[in-house]
Structure 1
Amino acid sequence: MNWKFTILSVLLLTFFTSVHAQGLLHVKKSDYLEGVKERKATYKKILHAIELGQKGKGFVSQAIPLFKEAHQLNSENAELNYNLGVCYLISGPRNEALTYLKSAQKLNADISEDIHFLLGMAYQYRNDFNKAIVQFKINIELVQQNNYKDKKDLIALSEKRIGECKNGKQFLNNTSGLEVELMEDVNSAYDEFNPVLNGNDFYFSSRRGNEKNSRSLEDQKFYEKIFVQDTSENIYSVSVNTPSKSNLALMSFIDTVPIIYLGGEGNGDVYFAKTSSGKWGKGKALKFINESKSRESSVCTGKDGNEIYFISDRKGGFGSCDIYYCTKEENGKWSKPINIGGDINTEFDESDVFISNDGKSLYFSSKGHNSMGGYDIFKCERKESGEWGRPQNLGFPINSTDNDITYFEDETGRFYFASERSGGVGGFDIYREKEILEKIEEPVILAGQASIQEVPNEINNEKMGAPLMAKPVVVSDIPVKRQPEVIEEIKMKEELVQEDFVYRVQIAACKREMGPKDLFQRYKGGDVIEHLYIEGWHKYTIGGFPTFEEAAKYRDSCGVQDAFVVIFKGGYRLGIAKKTGGVK
């Protein structure tokens, strides 16, 4: 969205201005060419790259390949290495900057007045916080001792960065048990963010395009559009009747009605979307939110629909962009926007507000509080009084030293977000919570030796727990039972004797219940999936085979690489089944 990248422009504005007050460094022609004619064309590319860098941050990415071509011919030029490092810090991937900046300082210790500040940033993006702090402190000392008047702003920036590095050290040493994974199927070389899951469809924003599409004058990227991935993993653009030279994003759904953001260069408002025959159009404006002289965005409402939260850069806030909210009054009308307050809003920017389905948790991105760098994602818990508690940084691995934005949770509580961190496909990428699959620590029963003796002691001693509940999972194109099957508690050993063994194929087991889309991505077959909840694990099985051989054959052909056979008797799951002799 344009609002998003306008905010990110502000994030880099002070840094970009300080670096480019003198422009990218001039590369001496004599130092580079040394009289070799074949290098003249490359030197012209260096001059062109410097011109691009001077035009603005939206052109910096175009300068990098030109500088790198020159670097391949001569890597011993300090100014060229400095320019490459600066360009990577501005346009990314930012972890690439350190190598070039270290080379620049090694070749010329006095290459620039801000070299230590830049080195500090480069170490910070590598999570090398101790070295980053040293460089920021050196920068402060040099600016103060040498009275660099045009670099005074680097003192405050260095102090903030030192605080971020200290936060980063703390979070890195206290990582949670969560894991995140890159959604490679939706990400591209362009920016992707704003994940929204509605039913079985996964919506997101992307700045992908082709040469026929218009580009933003502000950052030279394609305008943002809405895309959707269906259950068959097909990705297509959502057709919306809006101007081509505008940024368009899906914010959230109120019931089944989409709320969209529509804006141009430096402005934007939010609207309900009209939907008809698969096409969307701009509907009614949310007039109680929008202001003519400000930019409103990132709208989200709780499940009960009595509160609505949004981001605005209107006057009177604590920072450039603040969180506001409205409440529904008794007459059904919305209240005037209220600033959420100084405990949550800061002098820095807040963005990307999201409220959980139960209305008890509020998530947002911020450059303030105890951020470890750029935007971090924070969480507030609602108190019994209805007020929000103090923001808590979600820490690693959700947050990074780069920008982490647009947090979203689906109905099962699985989270999604976008990050500009290194290691992705390109620019901003969408990540999600990685499912923790079951570690196999249960009885392994040899199929040819299955008998009542293999029944767990708990059954023999009649000490079973609560009944196991089985329910079908509703996924497109997969037949399911209309009514959930209830597996009754088995109280007597004799009942087991009367039942034959049944073999099923288990395709997944995880701590959090899998949503239809995730389950369909794992298994695309046409058989009924049974969902069992056993001792804290959600287990998904298919089929009901009389022999191990038949189950194993289906296991090998079902398309799930790590599927395995489990054995049931009398409706009770006994454990993992293997062929006699231990052959899988």
Structure 2
Amino acid sequence: MKNGQILLVLVFLLMGQVLLAQRTQEYTTNSKKAIKYYVESTNYFIRRQYGPALELLSAAVRKDGGFAEAHLRMSKIFKSMGDENNMKHHLQKVVKSEYNNPKFSEAHVLLAEIYFEIGEYDEAEELAQHVINLKNAHKLMQDDARYLLTNIKFTQENINKPVDFQPKVVTGGVNQLGLQYFPVLTVDQKSMIFTGRRGSRPQYDEDIYISKKQDDGQWSKPELLSDNINTRANEGTCTISADGRTLIYTACQDRSGFGSCDLYISYKIGDEWTMPKNLGNQVNASSWESQPSLSADGNTLYFVSDRKGGIGRRDIYVTYRNEEGDWCKAVNLGKEINTPRDEVSPFIHVNGQTLYFASDGLPGFGKFDLYVAEKNENSWSPPKNLGYPINTKEDQASLFITANGKDAYYSNENRQGDHYVSSLIYTFVIPEEIRVTNRSSYVEGIVYDAVTKKPLGATVELMDLNKQKKVADVNSDPKNGEYLMVLTEGSEYALYVDREGYLFQSLAFNYTVKGNTNLQEPKHIDIYLQPIAKGKETVLNNIFFDVDKYEIKEISKPELNKVVRFLEENSEISIAINGHTDNQGSADYNLELSAKRAKAVHDYLVDAGISEERLQSRGYGQSKPITSNDTEEGRQKNRRIAFEIL
């Protein structure tokens, strides 16, 4: 070998020794064997092949018991396996040997979290504060330490103030699968829909199931919801409208989508569910969308996404359906609800005002806690923790609250490492102090053609008379005519049932008095729509006057504007405005009062642009009662304004 070649070989050998020395200096051990075992464990660790990884890491720490990197990796493996004792053991090894080393601030935070979970608050606080004070510690670790200190303080202040919480496993046929979770109910509480797996192992795919409440109050054995919805792939968390006829759910495979998981919608017509459709790119993004929650009327949707541009890692978003039936671009719910960490599993109560959700970014008892916030016009109240022991050191995620705000349903998952080994659906009575501000009930029935008595598909619209705006609209089923509309405490409502070619009908509901148990009773009202024809009449139940007055009250405007729209859409029609009274007072007085009230409505319509040639006004006083005047309820029905087709 020539001298130059010998020199080149020596240079390469020297460089290798230098590189090996530099690599050795990256670790807290000088043992080349220990490092070799650690490096070899990496591929197994990444692929989550924990058995071989632990064997190699155990060999590494046998070579050097102070090998902090190996202990930290072992702690992460035991965390994934759900073995908290071994996780704690290896973290203690790291923290003891590398207490002031900022490179291992993650180990300090992980150990502090364990101390917090087992109630050793002083130890948790000391470690968290140490990370905050540790020079050159990673900023994310310091942020986690600050958040942990907030939770420690919150827990110490609130864990001794328990709320009344007595959960019970839902009996009957519901809990018959290997796993069942994220339950939702129709507003009449007759159907429960949830995600389930026939077994607890990952090879069992997720499907959507339904269970129905039987006459004895027990839940039936769960059945697959529909072949149109369930596939060989996973169908995840779902939400349903109050009437049980609009379903939105999560699907991640086998359907055309925009991201890893998208939201899909299906409608129930008669007894069949339509083929699902993707909600589109105004809702779904090239990311993960899941955990939807639909408003009672099916026109507002809350969901979770990890898309770019959010406030945290996973945020709650909202989208609205416009008058054309299209979903508008989803927007982030904002910093009033979302934090720099994770917010998940939103649930909007049927009152449309109360939002329940889970967060690991707000002060709590550890991991994900459940919170409630109330919507005030265009803002949200500060989220309120539901309290201990509803929230504990474990994750709490799903929650469904019934319309009256009294009962809750949720799933309780038992994890073993990274997967569920069991999951059951529970129910409990919501403590008074965290119940919804405004409770809800509903009115349901069937829409018929008044002549043929056949069921009709029709538009059902709910107006808040005090705010003079529409709050909800649904459609009755085109096959069976069934409709359902939620009514919430705190306002006075007009309900309009409308179909082209028919006279609309209006119903009145005064729900301004909160806490009235009579208001909470569901109502069944069948609606008979009259085809537009000469002599047909409809009563305007939401025209209001003060006693013995004929000036129209402001709250009557939505009803009057409804008449204006009807006349604009049916320009060939002329009508008579008919005024009626009860039998209280003299007949002459009542005749005059009814005529003046009818004329007031007539004049409003003229001022709104309706030709006076198409209008008449007539007063009938007490001469045409529609029921007995012997009761106040009867007299109230007889005091009315109606319009008649001429």
Which of the five TM-score ranges fits, normalised by the shorter chain? 0.5 to 0.7
Residue 291 of structure 2 corresponds to: 298
1:391 aligned to which of 383, 394, 405: 383
Contact 1:24 1:50 in 2 (8 A): no
Contact 2:408 2:429 in 1 (8 A): no
Distance 2:124 2:422 in 1: 24
Q: Which has the higher relative contact order, 1 or 2, with Cα contacts under 8 A spaced 6 or more apart?
A: 1
Residue 283 of structure 1 corresponds to: 276
Amino acid at match of 2:195: S
Residue 122 of structure 2 corresponds to: 130
Contact 1:94 1:422 in 2 (8 A): no
Residue 197 of structure 1 corresponds to: 185
Distance 1:176 1:367 in 2: 20
Deviation at 1:247, TM superposition (A): 4.6
| Per-residue Cα deviation, 1:498-538 (whole angstroms, up to 9, x for no partner) | xxxxxxxxxxxxxxxxxxxxxxxxxxxxxxxxxxxxx9xxx
Residue 404 of structure 1 corresponds to: 396
Identical amino acids, percent of aligned pairs:
24
Normalised by the length of structure 1, the TM-score is 0.52
Residue 87 of structure 1 corresponds to: 77
**2:206 aligned with 1:224, yes or no?**
yes
**2:285 aligned with 1:260, yes or no?**
no
Contact 2:195 2:235 in 1 (8 A): no
Local SS of the residue matching 2:371: strand
Residue 307 of structure 1 corresponds to: 300
Local SS of the residue matching 1:406: coil
Residue 144 of structure 2 corresponds to: 157
Distance 2:41 2:272 in 1: 42
Change (3 A) 1:133 1:24: farther
**2:426 aligned with 1:432, yes or no?**
yes
Residue 156 of structure 2 corresponds to: 169
Change (3 A) 1:173 1:93: farther
Residue 88 of structure 2 corresponds to: 98
Distance 1:100 1:206 in 2: 36
Contact 2:366 2:394 in 1 (8 A): yes
Contact 2:179 2:200 in 1 (8 A): no
Contact 1:295 1:312 in 2 (8 A): yes
Contact 2:294 2:302 in 1 (8 A): yes
Contact 1:127 1:401 in 2 (8 A): no
Change (3 A) 1:328 1:124: same
- Count of residues paired in the alignment: 385
Amino acid at match of 1:175: P
2:104 aligned to which of 102, 113, 129: 113
Residue 417 of structure 1 corresponds to: 410
Distance 2:198 2:314 in 1: 26
2:347 aligned to which of 354, 379, 384: 354
Q: Structure 1 stretches of 5 or more lacking a match?
A: 1-21, 32-43, 215-221, 438-534, 536-584
Deviation at 1:123, TM superposition (A): 1.4
Amino acid at match of 1:226: I
Change (3 A) 1:168 1:432: farther
- Greater C-alpha radius of gyration: 2
Contact 1:78 1:108 in 2 (8 A): no
After superposing the two structures, state which structure 1 stretch, 328-337 or 345-354, moved more. Answer: 328-337
Distance 1:332 1:167 in 2: 44
Contact 2:283 2:329 in 1 (8 A): no
Distance 1:30 1:49 in 2: 12
| Per-residue Cα deviation, 1:60-113 (whole angstroms, up to 9, x for no partner) | 5x679x77xx89xx9x97878765543343343657743564577679989993
Residue 337 of structure 1 corresponds to: 330
Deviation at 1:380, TM superposition (A): 0.8
Deviation at 1:365, TM superposition (A): 1.9
Distance 2:425 2:83 in 1: 17
Contact 1:25 1:82 in 2 (8 A): no
Deviation at 1:29, TM superposition (A): 12
Change (3 A) 1:179 1:81: farther
Residue 506 of structure 1 corresponds to: none
Distance 2:430 2:400 in 1: 19
Q: RMSD over aligned Cα, in angstroms?
A: 5.1
Deviation at 1:121, TM superposition (A): 1.8
